Amino acid sequence: MSETSLAAAGRNVITIRAEPNNINGRDMAGEPALYIPLQIQLLPAGDQKNVEYTLIQLAGKLQSQPLGEFATFHVGPLAEPSNPSPFFRQQDAVVPLSRRQIKRLEDARAGKDAHLQLSLSGLLWFPTAPRFELSRPQGNLDLTIPRSHWLDRVLLPWNLLTTKIIEINFPQATSGESLRSSYSRVEEAERHFANGQYKETLTTLRLGFESLAQNLGFEAVGKDFFESLFASAHPEKREKARDALNGIYRLLHLGPHEHATNPTQNNQPVLTRQDARFALTLAYAVFEYIASAT
């Protein structure tokens, strides 16, 4: 549980809490949003703790290292009065995010836990004055969301394990079933990518090509298999498409083979996040191309 406070009439009497494991992803009419349930305690202000006020609105900034501020949101209008009894009431914060913001956040997370900071301020109304007051934050809500929770409860509801805009229309014939079956490996590779497992990302994509070859009656992935995918194409186009796919498949061989974790170690290749994203993007393009050509 993370906690921060806001001041009212010069005293830190507003307490705001958030439990990282309760944070979820939401789909808001097709657009992603981060759902953050807040718990708020509003004690009376003043030296004698007898000054009443009403919380009218909360404003928030979502931050992350090394991104800094990358999203803002508002909660309200509200009408939550202070109360001398110490209890917490729930107020939900919904932070709309764009695909670009999610991509930047995922790049910063790099397959690890998600580290977020929430900076909150409040608009207060003092009925006996009467006057408004802006309550500024005394500190941030530091939220560390475990990688597994982020993957299953945030990314999956967004349906955006990687930021992409691509449509794959699988044919209705038997070949379409084979493509859909093999594409499940690409979806599995997306999960590896989200977990920062870049070697496993390439390995799983390679298994996707092998599964497709076997489903289509080939013993192994090779030039004959790739040529068969473009059997009705012009010979020159068929040859170039075959060579392109074979080159991509050879790139994926980097996954199953051991490689160094340091680029200066034994002159061995090192797989980075950019490499894994490149391989995933190629896989999306290949399956879209094959599906449209089938």
pLDDT in tens, 14-71: 999 999 999 999 988 888 999 999 999 999 998 888 899 999 999 999 999 888 999 9
Domain boundaries, the chain: 2-145, 174-293
pLDDT of residue 255: 81
Nearest to 200 by CA among 210, 188, 192: 192
User: Is residue 119 very low, low, confident or very high in pLDDT (cuts 50, 70, 90)?
Assistant: very high
Considering the domain 2-145 in this protein, what is its CATH number? Answer: 2.60.40.10
Q: Is the confidence at residue 294, as pLDDT, over 70?
A: no
Report the distance separating Cα 166 and Cα 284, nearest Å: 7
pLDDT of residue 29: 84
Q: Identify each DSSP E strand in the chain by its residue range.
A: 2-8, 11-18, 24-28, 31-42, 54-64, 68-75, 80-81, 89-96, 114-126, 131-135, 141-145
Number of Cβ atoms within 10 Å of the Cβ of 93: 21
Residue for token digits 């202070």?
82
User: What tens digit of pLDDT does each residue of 198-229 get?
Assistant: 999 999 999 988 988 888 888 888 888 888 88
Mean pLDDT calculated for residue range 159-170: 55
- C-alpha angle 37-41-46 in degrees, rounded to nearest 5: 150
Report yes or no: 216 and 244 within 8 Å, Cβ to Cβ: no
CATH class of the domain defined by 174-293: mainly alpha
Average pLDDT along the chain: 86
Q: Which residue has the higher pLDDT, 153 or 176?
A: 153
Query: pTM for the full model?
Result: 0.71
User: Is residue 144 very low, low, confident or very high in pLDDT (cuts 50, 70, 90)?
Assistant: very high
